[in-house]
Amino acid sequence: MVKKSLCGLTADEILDLIEPLGYNRAHAVSISNSIYKKAVSDISYIEKIPIRLKEELLSIALSGIYLPLASEVSADKSVKYLFRTENGKEFETVYIPDNKRNTVCVSTQSGCRMGCLFCITARYGFRGNLTAGEIVNQILAIPQAAKVTHVVFMGMGEPMDNLENVLKACSIITAEWGLSISSRNVTVSTVGIMPGVDQFLQKTDCNLTLSLYSPFSEERKKMIPMENKYPVQKIVDMMKNFPVKKKRRLSLAYVMVKDLNDTDWHLEGLKSILKGSKIRINLLHYHPDWNDQNYSSSAERMQFFKHNLIVSGISASIRKSRGTDISAACGLLAIR
């Protein structure tokens, strides 16, 4: 018999598993608390349930928590972890400490099939989707699990290409019986699969970030193939018109490449598509591979963009790069 992985199940699904054995929701919540709040990897050590239930669980389930294979530490103290699933899919996770804010950047797929030209993960190819349990395990299985305050879905893969598992993972991360991390501390990034964005906005209160690259459709098509199917302007309009609850953030991520998308023309384009909205824009450094002829925009140019956007009434910030020396920064994750 194939055993169920408890990590990745909701409290209701755990109840469905144990109710036929004569147990109730209180037992299910105790199990979910042990898995998600205490990262108990051995069912024998689950607290507040009868010994008989532990014995029965051992015959039908696994904790589903497994450790990374390897890790690499950056000079800035970020840590990149390598995971491998039972069926051989490999993916990377990054822990980013920053004063009182400790973020885990999780992957949703092994590789990616979006084909964005500025992202090195795309060159790794697509090896498969991760389950909700495999996504959540990236938080639970690292040594710093108890310190985590924020989660970003910005690792390997396109979250909207694995939407069912991403929505379930978000539910587990934010639930009271789960990790109990506030939805305003969870951010999911996408290149813009429109039906997925629509469902994500409707079904969760977590933050959303859209990877833009260029405010101009024809230019964006050359770098982000999904633009051909789902024009970014339509997605931005959807984000503009969506009734956002207090403290939920919708934002754009703008990777700045010297002389390619950091001209005054691009700045005016950004102002145009964001005019009159509450959408925030995060300006990101470009991280080239060793044989890449392109470079990130200068710090001065990025400050110029930020200043002009803010003066125009658009909320803007420059995101600090972390883990570049271990290929852990945005767009660099690829199994080496």
* Integer Rg of the chain from CA: 21
Q: Per-residue DSSP letters for 57-100?
A: HHHHEE------SEEEE-TTS-EEEEEE-TT--EEEEEEEEETT
User: How far, in Å, are 64, 91, 131, 134 from residue 127 at the CA level?
Assistant: 20, 9, 13, 14
Mark whether 90 is an active-site residue.
no
Cβ proximity of 46 and 37 under 8 Å: no
The 186-190 sheet, strands edge to edge: 70-73, 79-84, 90-98, 101-105, 150-153, 186-190, 207-211, 250-256, 280-285, 316-318
In the chain, the amino acid numbered 231 is P
Helix 232-241 vs helix 264-274: crossing angle, to nearest 10: 40
* H or E element, residue 264: helix 264-274
* Residue tagged active-site, from 112, 170, 206, 330: 330
Query: How big is the chain, counted in residues?
Result: 336
Q: Select which of 92, 134, 158, 227 is catalytic.
A: 92
Task: Give the type of residue at 130.
Answer: L
For the question of residue 164 being annotated catalytic, the response is no
Q: Tokens in use for 181?
A: 């991390």
Confirm if 61 and 4 have CB atoms less than 8 A apart: yes
Give the three-class secondary structure for 287: coil
Active site residues: 92, 330
